[in-house]
Amino acid sequence: EMRLVESGGGLVQAGGSLRLSCAASGFTFDDYDIAWFRQAPGKDREWVSCTSSIDGETYYADYAEGRFTISSDHARSTVFLQMNSLKPEDTAVYYCASPPLDADCSWVPSDYQYWGQGTQVTVSS
């Protein structure tokens, strides 16, 4: 059974940093792209970043570019999201997700088949 488990969320002051982890199990990690999404209260789930399993290419939403970094540790089957210079508007539940086998990174949530349970990130002003 394919499983994604996020961790690393918490409460941080504006300008601070957090590193989220997404531990994958139950599938061949190297075969799947992994993305991060977030959802704030009352808002739609939005795409944050994605890393490609084919070439390691990384992609970012405009608001994440330059502040967030996605990386993978293939030995540990884990994807990280390093978030720096956090802002109150970054407050949300952060999810990692994977599309079906052979599908590519996408910013559309419905393109993803597997989801973690989410981890809360709260940025205070």
The 3-state DSSP class for residue 68 equals strand
For 67-100, give one letter per residue: b (16+ CB within 10 A) or e. Answer: ebebebeeeebbbbbebeebeeebbbbbbbbbbe
- Residues 65 and 85: their CA atoms lie apart, in Å, by 11
The percent of residues above 90 in pLDDT, for the chain, comes to 88
| pLDDT tens track for 100-112 | 888 899 999 999 9
Considering only CA atoms, which of 63, 33, 58 is closest in space to residue 46?
63
| pLDDT tens track for 43-68 | 999 999 999 988 889 999 999 999 99
Per the model's pLDDT, the better-predicted residue between 103 and 9 turns out to be: 9
